[in-house]
Each structure stands twice: as C-alpha cells, then as structure tokens.
Amino acid sequence: MIPALTAALGVAAWLGAAQQPQATLQWGGDAEGGAPFVEADPGDPSQVRGFDVEVAETIARSLGRRARFVQVQWSSIDQSVERGDFAIGLSGVEDTPARRARHAVTIPYFEFREVLAVRPDDRGRWSDLAALRGRRVATLGATMAYDILVAARDSLGLVAASYDDDVHPYSDLVAGRVDAVLLDHIIAARARRRLGSEGLVIEPRAVAVGHYVGVLAKADSALRDSVDVALRAAMRDGTLERIFRRWQVWDASQAALFRRIAGSGPAVAVDTAERRAAAVSAYLPSLGRAALVTAVLSVLSMAVAVVVGGVVASGRVYGPAPVRVLMTVYVELIRGTPLLLQLFVLYYGLSGVVRLPAFLAAVLGLGLNYGAYEAEIYRGALEAVSHTQLEAARTLGFSEAQILRLVRGPQALRYALAPMTNDFVALLKDSSLVSVLTVVELTKQTAIYATNIGTWIVPGMLCAVVYLAMSLPLARLGRRLERRWRTA
C-alpha cells in the first residue's frame, strides 16, 4: 500500500498540470485531433506540435508566461476550461453562439470553410446540401458542421450521421456507408492526403464559413481580453501568418480575416514543415508511461473498491434496517448507471462544490463504481459461510467482531477471490474510460498515436500486448491463490 501510494503521488505530481506557479499558461487541447492542430511530436512524443501549439506559445510569450499543454478530450474542452483544468482551450475550437453565451471566447484567429467530401464518381453531383436530400451525410459530433446537418435534416430531409472522431466519417465515405462528409477544410484536406484523390474529392464550394477561437472560463474575461490583444498583435506582426504558412494552412481568407480583425496586411515569410518519419520506437517511452498510469490507477482504484466494498457489504449483512437500505440504494444506483456518466458527474458535475484533481477523481470514480460490485461479491461470500459455524463460534464466546475477523471473513475471502480477480482485470480495462477526465492512460495514448501516424495496426497491437502483460499475471496469481486455498 505504501509503495503504491508513493508511486501514485509521483504519478499525480508528474501529471499534475494543476499546481505550477504563475509563469506558465496552461492550455488545453486534444492531441488525438492530430496535425495540423495538435499532435504528439514524432521526434519526441512527450511533446506536442501543431499550429494550435504555436498559437498557444505565441499567446503565452506575449503574456510573459511559458505555455504548458494539458491533454483533454476534444468534446470536453468547454467543461474542462470552466472547471479550471487549464486557462484556455485551443484545439480547433469553433466559434458558435452557444459557446459565446456560456464561456469567454477570444477573437477568431483562423477562418475555415465547411466543405463537402464525396467519392470521385460523385464529383459535381451534389454541390450543395439541398442536392443531398435522402442521402447519408457524416460529420464529427458537437461541431458547427453537425449543427448544419441537423438543421438540414429537418429542412432538406437528409440523414445526418454523427461520429466521435474525424477519421471514420471519411473511411465510411470510401466504404460507401455514407454519401458525403461535411467538415472543415483542414480536416477534409487531411483526410484526402490520407486516403488519396482516388478515395475522395472535395467539392470546392464552401457550405458555410466558421472560425477557430480560444475558449476561456466565463469568469476569465480579463485574461480573454489580454489574449485578444496578443492575437491582434500576432496578426499584425506576421507571427500568425508564419505559423499558418509553416503548417500549410495559410490562404487568402486568413489575410482577409486578419485585415478585418486587426486592420493590417501581413508580412511574408515562408518555411516548410519537415515531417520526420514517425518511427514506432519513438512512441514507446510515452506508451510505457501511459501503461504505468493505467497500472497505478488500477491498483489504487481497486484498493478503494475493496475498502468501499467491505464497508458496504458489512453494512448490508450486519447493519440495522436503515443502513441496509442505504447500502442497497448505493449498490443499485452505481450498478444501474453507466460508469462514464458517474465519472462525468464526479469530475464536471461536482466541480462547483469540490474541484478534484483529475487523477484523484479517476481513482475515486473507478473505486466507488467497482466498490458496489465488490460489495455484492463480499455479501454473497459472507452469506455463503455456513451458519452453524457462526453459531459454533458464538457458543465458544467469540464476539461478533471476532467471528467476522477469525471465522467468517477468512472463509468469505476464499469464496470472493475468483470474482475479485475477475473484477480487477475488468477494472484494468475500464480504467481507459477516465481519459474523459483529461487523464492520459494507455488507451488514450494509443489513440493519440494512432491518429497521429494514421494507422491503428501497430499502436493497437502494442496496446493490446501491454494490457495482456498486466492482466495475464493477475489471472495467474488469482488461480494460484485459489488452488492453495481449495483444500479448505
């Protein structure tokens, strides 16, 4: 327990984006979004790069701070910034009225076009949404494109398909599962590079125009104003243009946007981004660190689950009626609702009351959830110990506590061992869900690389091997203990 705790503290400190004294500007983004926004640097996967990374660094510099990246799931950027995980979210965050209403939003720093991607055979066939009546059109959920499609679904009768990532809409387009994909031109261009022009073509006409902005907590409008000043300066002195050119996303509409916003024409500077080969070996250290996070997280969560399970099971077996009812409600509530929902409530929902660090919230969330399952195992195991043994213990003068400790508990533990091992292995894998709380563990890290290098095959196999390397010894240990105790 002590070494585990020390390790956990180490991990927490190392993860602990939270407590760095001023001099840093914490900014949140999703490296799973990949280039050119934010991606893990193939040369050093513990670092990120991309135009949003450089925009963040530019802002930080002009604020006299050092930029510090915080990984967050793209769809959670708004909640995360509001609860203070970082000061500003920059990761292809779109300017929408809803976002403006709920958060402090910077001036736009990039203009994108929502464009339609279609199969080459369909080139020119559906140049706008109206022509797509009755067809399936895919996009990434929670985006402006999705809102456009939902509106078009009602007015034009097309079928909107929402995806959790921006890779599968295009692969499904190539596979013929959808007829078009509506997303911004940067993502579309990336998909065309990945799949080739024989896979898909991009219709030149923009369906709509939108902007990327930085998002800050509603209460942070003062910082937002400073960021706006920094962005305007960067537009005027050519810094932003250099960044966008370096990432090959500069075009005339950016110049127009800058003129509109900052009132000046940009200077000229060109240099090309050099992509180093994304060697798998470069990712191994980060995968190793992520695996350590998964292992420590699982061990600590299981420790919490065992304690919670023990308390709840004792309450259900020994407690008076009100305690039994309370414990039953707890067990049924936890078992009856998704773990993902519980994690969200614990981390985002309660952030107004108690602001848990992400790692602690992850340990608590998993521990409290699995505690309910452990409780049921322990209760069953306690009740499986023969009643006459308990009576025999009473006639010998043992107190109830002694009976639990000396007679009932040890035997219940033997009954509980196999299902406990099972749960621990399940928890190891369920721990991947905590990536929604900005904790980067093994699966999240794998997803980041897979998206960055454009294939799941090698990262997926590596990830599976690491999980198996952790779960198989556990299963073996469980079986050994069972065998040793079977005689009893």
Partner 1 sequence: MTALLSVDRLHLGYHGRDVLRGLTVEVRRGEVVALMGPSGAGKTSALRAVAALVRFDGGRIVVDGFALEPGPVPPESRLKPLRRRVGLVFQGHALFAHLTALENVALALRHVLERRREEADDTARRLLDSLDVGVRAAALPSQLSGGEAQRVAIARALAPDPPLLLMDEPTAALDPARRGALGRTLRRVAAADGGRGLWIATHDVEFARACADRVAILADGMVVEAGSATEVLDRPGHPATRALLAEAASP
Contact residues for partner 1, defined by CB under 8 A: 386, 388-389, 391-400, 402, 406-407, 410-411, 414, 485, 487-488
Gap between the Cα atoms of 374 and 471, Å rounded: 18
Cβ of residue 414: shortest distance to partner 1, in angstroms?
Answer: 7
CB of 82 to partner 1, least distance (A): 53
Residue 311 Cβ vs partner 1, minimum distance, rounded to whole Å: 22
Paired tokens of 400: 């109830």
Determine the distance from the C-alpha atom of residue 326 to the mean position of all C-alpha atoms in its chain, rounded to a whole number.
Answer: 33
Length of the chain: 488
Both structure tokens of 483: 């065998």
Secondary structure class of 282 (helix, strand, coil) = helix
Q: How far is the CB of 317 from partner 1 (least distance, A)?
A: 17
- Taking the least distance from each CB to partner 1, the nearer of 391 and 482 is 391
Query: CA-CA distances (angstroms) from residue 162 to 26, 158, 308?
Result: 30, 13, 38
When the beta carbons of 275 and 387 are compared against partner 1, the nearer one is: 387
From the CB of 371, what's the least distance to partner 1, in Å? Answer: 25
Q: Of the two residues 350 and 390, which places its CB atom closer to partner 1 in the complex?
A: 390
CA-CA distance, 42 to 213, in Å (whole number)? 26
Work out the end-to-end distance of the chain between its first and last CA atoms, rounded to an integer number of angstroms: 28
Residues 6+ apart with CB under 8 A from 223: 87, 88, 104, 216
Distances (CA, A) of 8 to 14, 16, 85, 427, 442: 10, 11, 19, 17, 16
| Ramachandran bin of 438, using left for φ above 0, alpha for ψ from -120 to 50, beta for the remaining angles | left
∠ CA(385), CA(324), CA(407), 5° rounding?
A: 25
**Residue nearer to partner 1 on the CB measure, 275 or 486:** 486
CB-CB contact of 92 with 212 (8 Å): yes
How far apart are alpha carbons 255 and 262 in whole angstroms?
10
Closer residue to partner 1, CB minimum distance, 320 or 336: 320
**Strand extents, DSSP E, 312-384:** none
- Between 192 and 414, whose beta carbon lies closer to partner 1? 414
Distance between CA atoms of residues 372 and 339, nearest Å: 11
In angstroms, what is the minimal distance from the CB of 476 to partner 1? 23
The residue among 197 and 389 lying less far from partner 1, judged by its C-beta, is 389
Q: How far is the CB of 384 from partner 1 (least distance, A)?
A: 11
- Shortest distance in whole angstroms from residue 397 CB to partner 1: 4
Residue 303 Cβ vs partner 1, minimum distance, rounded to whole Å: 24
Residue 87 structure tokens: 């000061």
CA distance 84 to 58: 21
Q: For residue 451, which of 161, 45, 15 has the smallest C-alpha distance?
A: 45
- Of 344 and 398, nearer to partner 1 (C-beta) is 398
Least spacing, CB of residue 376 vs partner 1, in Å:
22
